[in-house]
Structure 1
Amino acid sequence: MVVGDFAHEKEVLIIGGGPGGYHAAIRAAQLGKEVTLVEKQALGGICLNNGCISSKVFAEAAKRMRDAHDFPSFGMTFESFTFDINELQKHKATVINSLTKGVQALLKKHNVEVIQGTATFLSDNQVGVENGDSFEKYEFEQAVIATGSSYVRPKGFTLTHERILDPTSIYEQTECPDHLIVCGSDYQAIEVASSFSAFGTKITFALDGPLPYDETINKELIRLFKKSKIKILKDAALKKVSPYEKHLEATFRLGDQEQTITASHIYLPDERVANTKALRLEVCGIEVMNEGLITITETTQTNQPHIFAVGDVTAHGSLAVEAIKQGKVAGERIGGKKSVWDPWARPNVGYSIRPIATTGLTEEEALNEGYDIHIGEFPLASNGYASIINKKEGLFKIISEKETDVILGCHLIGEGSVAFISQAVQALEMGARMEDLTYPYYPHPSLNEAWLEASEALTGMAIHRTSS
């Protein structure tokens, strides 16, 4: 490979075309900047191509499977009902292809130049981009690092086998496992267990730690798992996996005992590693943590003020929603605006047996921070519209400070949770008080009234709550 000294001059260079990268690129372009984006694989990143979009397609299919059980209540019956995972895979591919083309079209609309290749820093204002036998140099005024992360197997479990699945391969299956052991306790493991349970797979859920939500939500989730005949193993430390031609055996440490379980497949919760090694960040003087993660300020700038970083590659979360926000902030700072990002009211959503959405402090966190709090809980079973649509499982929980009535956290599980969390995020961002939630009119009948009564329950004034 012959490399010359000539470098193409670019005003803004974005490295990585995932949610953080393409949002940064488009926002900077909207503000008048000339933007070039470098992506070594497919636009959209891990989320669009083999992450959250895939899992949500499966979660939606699982939801519709559960909804089918409600049909007789509404006078509808079917002689037969089948599920074909291969048809679901076709739908998933169609969705991903459509969304990828959408990102391409948006970048083109905003005149963002897209270059295919792998970027490596050559100095604090220059990168080299390799694509096959081609190598070009690009000099930039400002840059955004948005290279994301990659999945790696947990230590000690690097064995590759068709029966050992991970957050990517689980959603590439063309046959449903007969018996799937799901290891982990994060939202991804919860979604895997929930979706494949709905498809008819026998699930053993080996929790390697506490579930990630407010304790009230965790208890309701465990109840729903048991109702769905999902077997729960608590504090289960995986010690060994032995795959065979037609099954596998997994050995767990449960307290002071060991238990070996035979199943058809096992899902392992791979860890994420920041994609920074190939960048050679030391060349441009960017400081990284031991895990390869980049530390950023509230403006998404690194210790090199003209270089920004967003998304999984940073030390501040691995959710697409945060990457998108950080990407917009980076693009706006580059475009001259005084934007900042703050993770305080970031929403977290999970598509379990019933959807889960949370924001702000949990009850435990609020107490640990010294708050004297009110708790408002309202079960969907007491909501009239939930009875109409036969979606009575779940509850809404709101936490406020007693002295000021300021809302500190909102935790929802059940129908409508993902939609309502935006209202909760706005409440937290605006410093809303209980009266701000209880004063407005709410449509009747509707699930919205569950939100109202959870707010009224903060002071024991919910009308339709039958238990204290």
Structure 2
Amino acid sequence: MVVGEMAHERELVIIGGGPGGYHAAIRAAQLGKMVTLIEKDQLGGICLNKGCIPSKLLTSRAKKWRDLLSADEMGFDISSISLNAEKHTSYKNKIINQLKQGIEALCKANKVEIIKGNAFFMSENRIGVEQADSFEIYQFENAIIATGSTPVNWPGISFDGKKILDSWTISSLKEIPQHLAIYGSDTNALEMAMAFRALGAEITLLLEPGKNDFGFDSSINRELKRIFKKEKISIIKECELIGASEESKTISLEYTLNGTEKVLSCSHLFLSTGVNPNISELGIERLGMELTEEGFISVDRQCRTSLMHIFAVGDITAGPPLAVKAISQGKTAAEAIAGLNTESDLRYLPKVIHTLPPIASVGMTEEEAEKEGYVLQIGQFPLAANGYTSLSGKRDGFVKVISDQKTEVILGIHIIGEGAIEMISAGTISLEIAARDEDMTFPLYPHPSINEALLEAVEQLKGRAVHVAPLRKQEKVKL
């Protein structure tokens, strides 16, 4: 086709079929828009095919394996269990295919047009789509960019997907590493460290300069370090990666520590040091679209770019590269295009880590709240004091609640331990509605359940948790 030939007219074009893209497509269709979704690879995007789902299948596998190994205490004979990598891979592929088929069916049911191809902007209202044997032009009224991100490549290191891995390949390993070295301290690094440790690998976690606290509330950081020590996960702080080379069956990892060059020998290396937005092939330089200093697309609270009719959502915008952010932004962009008064507010974006045990956090940390000038009340309840965790044997961790002493409004909730990810939804809702402690203690909590740990943590703001020994007189908070 010759450029300049007649273009196909479309109302709304969405580039990228990941969580942000397909949620935007379906929400826009629900609101009466005619939607065209362009995906160059597979529906579900990186999250479904290489990221969130494969990694969570791995962490679920590790959790299941850990549970099986401790099942003898409950009367199970576990003498003949073993790991089968081939079956896990088959199971992973089955789950991914089922979810992908589900997305495709939902798009079809909502009359979303799906086009396979590589899309790029030709002008402010035209997109070109390259396919295997054709080239088409689409003229649009509105567009949403949801092209995601790519793992950061480290200079001088070749990722082979077998021994040297990034976040797209770590979950597809068909063997348990003998010694896995992990450079990074983000969500993926922590999840993979604990998952592969549970599956039997030796783990060395190397933390980048200035990344010694994992980014959580100080209480969570301390507990996490205690768990790492208990699990015999080695931690090397303030490391600057120089390079890595494969030698026979080992990887030589070169780094500096306190100005001294060192070498670590390991069987596998996983680098998890952030992402880059996928914008290089979009042609947005033709549009003069505004970018952040880091190279992400600038958007307002409705996810509108500097061009009023083009929106951007997900990893291609600044902020945490999380599917929950992409989903929220995708729906917001679709609603804004449909004329609704809507916005995406990421202030109370929950942070969840599928470690063993899991971590979940929302709102201010104790340190952040103090810096803001709040006089705090802290309620902390150990999961070891919860009846249901005694039944399951998963007693590590706690629930910590932070509130403003003056107004009694909840400022932050931080959980490490069994049930953390499920409980944090209640915490997120509480912060969104500016709940006071009485708003969280008045409802009835199911018994027995781990949810009661959240109740008692809130009660402990005023020293009223039943399953905690009374505070000494000098420790008592003002009632």
Structure 1 length as normaliser, TM-score? 0.97
Q: Per-residue deviation at 1:156?
A: 4.5
2 CA distance for matches of 1:429 and 1:135? 47
Structure 1, 263-272 or 283-292: larger mean CA deviation: 283-292
2 CA distance for matches of 1:459 and 1:98? 48
- Determine helix, strand or coil for the equivalent of 1:262: strand
Asked whether the 8 Å contact 2:206–2:239 carries over to 1, the reply is yes
Q: Per-residue deviation at 1:62?
A: 0.6
Asked whether the 8 Å contact 1:376–1:455 carries over to 2, the reply is yes
1 CA distance for matches of 2:79 and 2:149? 47
- Counterpart of 2:89 in structure 1 is 89
Structure 1, 249-258 or 412-421: larger mean CA deviation: 249-258
2 CA distance for matches of 1:251 and 1:457? 48
Asked if 1:369 corresponds to 2:392, the answer is no
How is 1:40-439 mapped onto 2 (pairs within 5 angstroms)? 40-158=40-158, 160=160, 162-208=162-208, 209-210=211-212, 211-439=214-442
- Determine helix, strand or coil for the equivalent of 1:388: helix
- Determine helix, strand or coil for the equivalent of 1:87: helix
The letter for the 2-side match of 1:458 is: L
2 CA distance for matches of 1:88 and 1:79? 20
Asked whether the 8 Å contact 1:118–1:130 carries over to 2, the reply is yes
2 CA distance for matches of 1:265 and 1:181? 6
1 CA distance for matches of 2:157 and 2:379? 43
The letter for the 2-side match of 1:233 is: I
Q: Per-residue deviation at 1:460?
A: 2.0
2 CA distance for matches of 1:169 and 1:303? 35
Asked whether the 8 Å contact 2:463–2:470 carries over to 1, the reply is no
Structure 1, 1-10 or 264-273: larger mean CA deviation: 1-10
In the TM superposition, what whole-angstrom CA distance separates every residue of 1:240-259 from its partner, at most 9, and x where no partner exists?
A: 32311111222332324443
Q: Per-residue deviation at 1:443?
A: 2.2
- Determine helix, strand or coil for the equivalent of 1:279: coil
1 CA distance for matches of 2:375 and 2:396? 29
- Determine helix, strand or coil for the equivalent of 1:377: strand
2 CA distance for matches of 1:159 and 1:123? 36
The letter for the 2-side match of 1:441 is: L
Asked whether the 8 Å contact 1:166–1:270 carries over to 2, the reply is no
- Counterpart of 2:38 in structure 1 is 38
Q: Per-residue deviation at 1:152?
A: 2.7
Q: Per-residue deviation at 1:297?
A: 0.7
CA change 1:234–1:316 in 2 (3 A) is closer
Q: Per-residue deviation at 1:161?
A: 7.2
In the TM superposition, what whole-angstrom CA distance separates every residue of 1:179-215 from its partner, at most 9, and x where no partner exists?
A: 1111111110001111111111111111222212111
1 CA distance for matches of 2:354 and 2:445? 26
The letter for the 1-side match of 2:182 is: V
The letter for the 2-side match of 1:419 is: E
The letter for the 1-side match of 2:333 is: A
Asked whether the 8 Å contact 1:176–1:199 carries over to 2, the reply is yes
Structure 1, 160-169 or 14-23: larger mean CA deviation: 160-169
CA change 1:283–1:467 in 2 (3 A) is farther
2 CA distance for matches of 1:52 and 1:313? 17
- Please list every run of 5 or more consecutive structure 2 residues that lacks an aligned counterpart in the other structure: 472-479
2 CA distance for matches of 1:83 and 1:212? 33
Asked whether the 8 Å contact 2:161–2:169 carries over to 1, the reply is no
The letter for the 1-side match of 2:446 is: P
2 CA distance for matches of 1:392 and 1:262? 35
Aligned residue among 440, 443, 448 for 1:440: 443
Structure 1, 307-316 or 71-80: larger mean CA deviation: 71-80
1 CA distance for matches of 2:242 and 2:279? 30
Structure 1, 53-62 or 279-288: larger mean CA deviation: 279-288
1 CA distance for matches of 2:239 and 2:40? 38
Q: Per-residue deviation at 1:467?
A: 7.7
1 CA distance for matches of 2:295 and 2:287? 15
- Determine helix, strand or coil for the equivalent of 2:377: strand
2 CA distance for matches of 1:193 and 1:86? 21
2 CA distance for matches of 1:186 and 1:55? 14
Asked whether the 8 Å contact 1:3–1:135 carries over to 2, the reply is no
Structure 2 length as normaliser, TM-score? 0.94
In the TM superposition, what whole-angstrom CA distance separates every residue of 1:85-142 from its partner, at most 9, and x where no partner exists?
A: 2211111111111111111111000000011111111111111111123111111111
The letter for the 2-side match of 1:197 is: R
Asked whether the 8 Å contact 2:179–2:267 carries over to 1, the reply is yes
1 CA distance for matches of 2:470 and 2:257? 36
Q: Per-residue deviation at 1:358?
A: 0.8
Asked whether the 8 Å contact 1:274–1:291 carries over to 2, the reply is no
C-alpha RMSD over aligned residues: 1.5
The letter for the 1-side match of 2:139 is: E
Q: Per-residue deviation at 1:22?
A: 0.5
- Determine helix, strand or coil for the equivalent of 2:407: coil
Structure 1, 234-243 or 9-18: larger mean CA deviation: 234-243
Asked if 1:453 corresponds to 2:467, the answer is no
- Determine helix, strand or coil for the equivalent of 1:13: strand
Q: Per-residue deviation at 1:458?
A: 1.3
2 CA distance for matches of 1:305 and 1:217? 42
Asked whether the 8 Å contact 2:158–2:164 carries over to 1, the reply is no
2 CA distance for matches of 1:98 and 1:394? 35
Asked whether the 8 Å contact 1:225–1:353 carries over to 2, the reply is no
What percentage of aligned pairs have identical amino acids? Answer: 47
- Counterpart of 2:476 in structure 1 is none
Asked whether the 8 Å contact 1:125–1:284 carries over to 2, the reply is no
Asked whether the 8 Å contact 1:295–1:314 carries over to 2, the reply is yes
2 CA distance for matches of 1:241 and 1:128? 40
The letter for the 1-side match of 2:431 is: L
- Determine helix, strand or coil for the equivalent of 1:413: strand
Structure 1, 274-283 or 152-161: larger mean CA deviation: 152-161
The letter for the 2-side match of 1:297 is: D
